Chains A and B, each alone.
Chain A
C-alpha cells in the first residue's frame, strides 16, 4: 500500500470506466514525483471524473459543478507552495465552467488542469457534452447533436496557455508521463485526457479512441504555437502528447503578497501599526 491509497474505498464508477486508468495514472505520476498527499490539493467539481480525489489520499476540495478552477486559483493564491490540480470532466470544465477555463488560462497560474474527456455526460446518464461529435444521438439530442464540439486544445492555444497536452486513458503509463510533465511545468497546464464511457458513449469507444489517435514522435518540439494549433485543429487522428509548452511568469508570483515575501497567507497577520497608519491617512489636514 502506498501513502496515496485509501484502503477499502467504495468506487462508484462502472466496471471498465476509463476513470480507473486515469486515477492509476495520476497516482503513479504523484508517486514518481515524490509528492506526498499533504503537499497536493486536488480541486474538483461534479460529475464522474471529479470523484477521482475521493478515491485516493490527498487534500481534496470537491466543490460545485464547473467551479473547480476558481477554487483552485484561491488555493494557489493562499499557499503557492501547494501542488494544485483541478480535475473534472468535459461537461464540468468546458461546459458549466467554460468561462473559468478561458480566464484561468489568461492568468497562467501554476495549476495542472486535468480534464477527463469522454464526449458524453455520465453522471446525468447520457446527454450530449460540449465535446460530443455532431450527429451524436442521446435521449435529449434525439435528432443528434447539431452544435460544433468544443476544441479544448485549440481554445487553450488561442488563449496562449503555457502548456497544452492530450493523453489517452488507455495508456496509463504514457498518461502518467504527460501528467508529470504538466505538474512540473511552472504555469497553467491543460491535459485533455481522452476516455471511453462504457455505458453512455457507444460511438467514441476504447477501440475508436485507439484508432483515432496517435502519439507525437520523440522528434516533436512543443515550442511552435502555430504548429501546435495546426495539430490541434487538424482533421483525422488526434495528436497525443505535449503539443505546446513555454515558460512565462505565473499568476501567483505576481500577486501583491508574494512580491517580496514567500510566506503563505496563513503565516501572516495584519500589522496593526500599519493599519493605524492607514486610518491616519484619512485625517483632514487643517
Chain B
C-alpha cells in the first residue's frame, strides 16, 4: 500500500535495532520500516514536531524530560550542532519556561516541550509570557492524568489545561496536529504566531501522535526562513508603545540605541511598574486586542466526506485518522467529518460550517467532553452526541465506526444524547 493514510499507521517495530534501514540521527532508536515504505519518508509525530520547530527558526529549547514529550527535546538535541540550537535540560519545568522567555527576550526563538504535570508547573511562566508580551512556543504532549496517571499511554485530557493555564486574562493560540505532516506545518506556524502576535502558542499533541510513525511522500519544506520580527530600537524606545492593534515593535537588548524594559508587574508603555488605573485599562485592552486578529487568521477545520452529509463528526488533534478511516469504512452519504487543527481561538467561519449540519457528534479522547464544552462556550453550539475514550488507548476505527452508526441512526436533531 503506497497511498498515505489508506490504512491505520503502518505496523512498525519501535524497538531499537543494531541495523536500521533509514539513516537515523545518532542515538535515537528508529523503527524498521515495512518494505512497501521504500523511498518514502518515515517519520514519527516527534520527528515532524522537531523539524517543524527547526523550520520555524527554533534555536533554543529548555525542557525537563517527561514522557511522552521528551522525543522532541532529544530530536532537537540530536540536531543541535547541525542547526545551532541551544539545548538545555533544565532543573525543573519552571526553569525551562523561564529560560525560554529569557531567550526570546534577547533575540532567540525558543520552545519548551512537556506533558501535563510539567506543564502545570509552567503555568505562571505562561502568564509571564502574556504580561511581558514575550513570544513562547509550548509543545504539550498529553498523557492521561490526573497526577502521574498513565505515563506511557494517551489521552486528549489537557485541552482545558492548555486553554486556561496561567493566571489573569490574555490571548493564546492552540494548534492540534492530526496528520503527521501537520506536526511539521503547525509547529512552524506556532513559531510564526508566537512571534507575530507576541503571545503563547501551543502545539497540543499526545502520546499516540508523538510515538506513531507514518510513511509519507514529503514534508512541505518552506522556501525561506520565517522573518525574525525584532525591531532595532531608537533612544526613546518604549517596549509597550500603544498601537491600534495592540502590537508594539519588539526590541531586544543590545540592538539599537534604546533599552528594553519588560515587566511582570503591570507596566507603563516604557515597561516600568505602575499602579495607574488608566494605564492598567489601556494595557488590558492592548493585550486582549490581538485576540480578534488571532481569530481572523485561525485555521479552519478540514471537512472530509460527502458534501450532502447532514451529520458531522467533530474531532480534533490525533483522532483524525481513526475518524477518517471509520467514515471511509462506513461509506455513508449522510456522515462527514470536521477535523480541527486549531482548537483555540476558532475562526469565525466555523459557525457556518457547523450550522449546515443537522446533527453534531463530538469525538474526543477524554471523559468529560472538553472540546464539546469549548464549542458551547465559544460558539454557543451544543453537540447532539458524544464519543469519548479515556482508558489510555487511542480511539480505534471500529469504535468510531460503531458509535457513528448508532448515533446517525438515532433521531435527527434530538439534542443531548450520550
Most buried by A among B37, B42, B219: B219
| Residue pair A272, B21 in contact (C-beta under 8 Å) | no
| Residue pair B98, A256 in contact (C-beta under 8 Å) | no
| Residue pair A274, B257 in contact (C-beta under 8 Å) | no
| Residue pair B254, A60 in contact (C-beta under 8 Å) | no
Tell me the residues in window 28-51 of chain B with beta carbons closer than 8 Å to chain A beta carbons. Answer: 33, 35, 37-43, 47, 51
User: Which residues in A have their C-beta under 8 angstroms from that of B85?
Assistant: 256-257
Query: A68–B81 Cα gap in the complex (Å)?
Result: 28
Most buried by A among B85, B98, B110: B98
Q: Nearest Cβ in chain B — how far from A15, in angstroms?
A: 19
In the complex, which of the residues B55, B62, B264 contacts A46, with contact meaning CB atoms closer than 8 Å? B264
Query: A278–B83 Cα gap in the complex (Å)?
Result: 10
| Residue pair B22, A63 in contact (C-beta under 8 Å) | no
In the complex, which of the residues A39, A58, A62, A100 contacts B265, with contact meaning CB atoms closer than 8 Å? A62
Query: A257–B107 Cα gap in the complex (Å)?
Result: 14
| Residue pair A283, B258 in contact (C-beta under 8 Å) | no
Cβ of A72 < 8 Å from any Cβ of B? yes
In the complex, which of the residues A41, A79, A265, A285 contacts B109, with contact meaning CB atoms closer than 8 Å? A265
Query: A46–B215 Cα gap in the complex (Å)?
Result: 50
User: Closest A-chain residue to B97, C-beta based?
Assistant: A70
Cβ of A217 < 8 Å from any Cβ of B? no
Known A-B contacts A51-B273, A60-B261; the reply to A268 vs B94 at CB < 8 A is no
CB-CB contacts of A264-286 with B at 8 A, as 1s and 0s? 11101111101110110111111
User: Closest A-chain residue to B39, C-beta based?
Assistant: A286
| Residue pair A284, B33 in contact (C-beta under 8 Å) | yes
User: Which residues in A have their C-beta under 8 angstroms from that of B42?
Assistant: 282-284
User: Which residues in A have their C-beta under 8 angstroms from that of B256?
Assistant: 38
Query: A285–B225 Cα gap in the complex (Å)?
Result: 28
User: Which residues in A have their C-beta under 8 angstroms from that of B21?
Assistant: 284-285
Q: Nearest Cβ in chain A — how far from B271, in angstroms?
A: 7
Cβ of B132 < 8 Å from any Cβ of A? yes
CB-CB contacts of A68-91 with B at 8 A, as 1s and 0s? 011111111111011000000000
| Residue pair A61, B273 in contact (C-beta under 8 Å) | no
Most buried by A among B95, B132, B228, B257: B95
Query: A276–B60 Cα gap in the complex (Å)?
Result: 20
User: Which residues in B have their C-beta under 8 angstroms from that of A39?
Assistant: 254
Q: Nearest Cβ in chain A — how far from B314, in angstroms?
A: 32
In the complex, which of the residues B99, B110, B257 contacts A38, with contact meaning CB atoms closer than 8 Å? B257
The contact size tier of chain B is 35 or more
Cβ of B59 < 8 Å from any Cβ of A? yes
Cβ of B255 < 8 Å from any Cβ of A? yes
Cβ of B140 < 8 Å from any Cβ of A? no
| Residue pair A74, B62 in contact (C-beta under 8 Å) | yes
| Residue pair A74, B259 in contact (C-beta under 8 Å) | no
In the complex, which of the residues B222, B255, B272 contacts A266, with contact meaning CB atoms closer than 8 Å? B255
Query: A207–B327 Cα gap in the complex (Å)?
Result: 81
Between A and B, 29 residue pairs with Cβ closer than 8 Å are: A51-B273, A64-B125, A67-B94, A67-B98, A69-B95, A72-B102, A74-B104, A75-B103, A75-B253, A77-B103, A78-B105, A82-B254, A100-B95, A103-B91, A103-B95, A255-B86, A265-B106, A266-B107, A270-B57, A270-B225, A272-B222, A272-B224, A275-B54, A278-B54, A278-B79, A279-B219, A283-B39, A284-B22, A286-B38
Q: Which residues of A contact B (CB under 8 A)?
A: 9, 37-39, 41, 43, 46, 51, 53-54, 57-64, 67, 69-79, 81-82, 99-100, 102-103, 255-257, 259, 261, 264-266, 268-272, 274-276, 278-279, 281-286
In addition to A59-B260, A282-B43, A283-B42, 17 A-B residue pairs with Cβ atoms within 8 Å of each other are A53-B261, A54-B273, A59-B253, A59-B261, A61-B132, A67-B98, A70-B90, A74-B108, A74-B110, A77-B88, A82-B254, A256-B86, A268-B84, A270-B55, A272-B225, A275-B54, A279-B219
